[in-house]
Structures are given as structure tokens and as C-alpha cells.
Structure 1
Amino acid sequence: MLNDIQDSYYIESPEQATMLLNPLRGEIIAQLMEPASAAEVARQLGESAQRINYHLKALEKAGLVQKVGTRQVRNLVEVLFRSIAKTFVLAESLSMKPETVQRLKDQGSLAHLITTSERIKRDAMLLMEQSDANEVIPSASLALHVNLADEQQRQAFVEEYTAMVQQLVSRYTGTPNEDSTYQVLLAVYPKPKE
């Protein structure tokens, strides 16, 4: 029987932490909030199915994604995978020095920020092509600045921010179909020095 996807999963092993810090693997997991095949994920990320399949096997071995079924596509059987959780949190109990854990958290977040920004750019270009074909493409974006004085305030902000967004998305999530699915990508990061 298929287990429900967890809201959060605490990463307590260095192996799992390393897996998540690979930007492509992090992006693969982000695509697997719903069951999908290697071919589907590859199309979403603009990668080869073979490359995605290789990373899926590594993620499955590390216990971060799970096989959830199969389906027949023409004369092939595709294996469906899904992430074990919606969000992953690096546990303080990782057998690493605290400064190493913090560095991993920071680097992982920055790597994910880069991957997310590339994804937004790629998706926007595809949508621009559709709008050139006289198709109306509804979209929205928001840019704000917030001053967060210290680590404690930053952590509290991120926790509340995440909870509010998850609650909002849950409130508006209905039965999925191709025409009604919108992507919500949000980021919080320090203003770069210029």
C-alpha cells in the first residue's frame, strides 16, 4: 500500500544530506510531489530520461523517493516515483560539525535557488512562445524586501512563511488537470552586495 507523502522529513544521515545538495537531485525531488516517471521528470527539466533514471535510482537507494506503481505506455512499462516528503530539513543531529551542517544548509539553499531561477526563466520563455501564438497566459509575480536582524528572526520568518504558503496552496488545491495546474515557486534570500 502506498504511504501518504509526509509534510516534512528530517535528514539525519550524511548520505541523504549529500544527495539533497546536488542541485539536479533536489530539482528531481521537487518534481515528484505527485507520482511521475523518469521520462516525465526528464521532459520537465529538459534532461535525458537516462540521466534522470540514474539519479532516481540513487535517490531511491538513499530512501528519499519511492516507487509507487507502474503504467503501460505503448509497449513500455514506466515505473512511477514519488518523493517521500514535501519538504526536507537537515537535522541538527547529523554527525557533522555544526558549522558544516550550517554550510550544507546554506549551500543547498543557494544551489536550489539557482535551479529554481533557471526553471522560472525556462518556463517563462515557453509561456512567452505560447502568448506569441495569441494564447492568453495568466501569471503573477511578487518581489518584496524584509529586514531580518538575526538567525533566530530569519528562522522564525522562514517557518511562518512556509506554513502560510502551504496552508494557502492546500486551501486552493482542487482536482488536478492539465489546464488548471499552476506552479508556485517562492524564494527568500539575502540581498546580494553590488
Structure 2
Amino acid sequence: MEQAQLETYVVETPEQAMALLNPLRAEILSRLAEPASASEVARSIQEIPQRINYHLKALEKVGLVRRVGSRQVRNLVEVLYMAIARTYVLSEGLNWAGNTVQQIKDQGSLAHLVHTAERIKRDALKLMERSDQEEEIPSATLDAQIQLASAEARSAFVEEYMQLVKQLVSKYQTAAKGQETYQVILAVYPNEGGEEK
């Protein structure tokens, strides 16, 4: 019987934690909310399938993705993978010092931010080429700064921010075929030069 995808998974082993620190592997996991092949994931993030396949096997080895089926595509059989959960939380039972766990979380988030920024740049350049051919490209950006009084306020802000975005996505998400897909990427990080309180 196929296991349902968890909403949240508590990461219990250092091997799983280290896998999540790799920005490409974190990106792959985010693309596996639904079953997908290495080729599909590669197309969605403009990577080569062989590289994605390598990282999928590493994620499967540490138990963060699982095989959920296969399908015939021309003369090939594609394996379908799915992430075991939608979100991941590092366990306090990893027995790492609190500051080490926080550093791992921060480094993982920052590495993912760098990878995401590179992908946004690639996507924007492709869209600009289409725009040069007088094709209308609807898009939007938002750039805002907020001062947060404490680490507790920062955590509360990020939690509420994520919940509001999930509600907004759920409200407008459509399952209709043939609809244009839009990429939504949001980030929260300290302003360089600004003082963290």
C-alpha cells in the first residue's frame, strides 16, 4: 500500500540533515510534492536529467524521497519519485549544539536563496528574450523591508508570512488543464548592512 505524503517530517539523522543543506537537493525535494521523474524535475529547473538522477538516488538513499511508480516513455521506463513530506524540521535529538543546528538551518536557507536567485535570473533572461519579440509577459515583483524587534518576532513573522502565502496560493490555484503556470518565489533575509536586533 502506497504511503501518503507527510505534511511535516522531523529529520532525525545527520545524513538527512546534510542532504537538505545541498541547495539543489532542497530544490528537487520542493518539486516532488507530486510524483515526477528525473527528466520532469530537470526540465522544471533547467538542469540535466543525469545530474538530477544522481541527486534523486542520494535523497532516496537517506530516505527523503521514495519511488512511487514507473511509466513507459517511448523506449524508456521512467521511475517516478515523490518527497516523503512537504516540509522538514531538524530534530533536537540530532544531539548537535543549538547554535550548530541554527547554523545548519541558516546555511541551508542561504544556499537555497543563492540557487533560487540564479534560477530567477535565468528565467528572467529567457522571458526578456520573449518580451523583445513584442510578446506580453505578465509579471510582478515586490521589494519591502521590515524591522523586527527580536528573534521571536522574526520567527512569528516568517510563520505568519508562510501561512498567508499558502492561503493565497490555495485560493487562486486551479487544476484546469491548459492554464498558464506562474512561478511564485518569496524570500525573507536580513538586509546587508542593516543591524539585526
TM-score by length of 1: 0.92
Q: CA deviation at 1:93?
A: 2.7
Is 1:38 aligned to 2:65, yes or no? no
Instruction: Give the corresponding residue for 2:28.
Output: 28
Q: Which runs of 5+ in 1 are unaligned?
A: none
Is 1:145 aligned to 2:145, yes or no? yes
Instruction: Give the corresponding residue for 1:62.
Output: 62
Q: CA deviation at 1:143?
A: 0.8
Kept in 2: contact 1:39–1:49 (CA 8 A): yes
Structure 2 SS opposite 1:149: coil
The 5 A counterparts of 1:31-180 are 31-175=31-175, 177=177, 179-180=179-180
Distance 1:126 1:35, change over 3 A: farther
Q: CA deviation at 1:14?
A: 1.2
Q: Which runs of 5+ in 2 are unaligned?
A: none
Distance 1:57 1:162, change over 3 A: same
- Aligned-pair identity in percent equals 59
User: Structure 2: how far apart are the matches of 1:156 and 1:183?
Assistant: 25
In the TM superposition, structure 1's runs of 4+ consecutive aligned residues that sit over 4 Å from their partners are none
Kept in 2: contact 1:60–1:66 (CA 8 A): yes
Kept in 2: contact 1:66–1:82 (CA 8 A): yes
Distance 1:154 1:9, change over 3 A: same
Structure 1 SS opposite 2:94: coil
Q: Partner letter of residue 192 of structure 1?
A: E
User: Structure 2: how far apart are the matches of 1:15 and 1:75?
Assistant: 35
TM-score by length of 2: 0.90
Cα root mean square deviation, aligned: 1.7
Structure 2 SS opposite 1:192: coil
Aligned residues: 194
Distance 1:183 1:114, change over 3 A: same
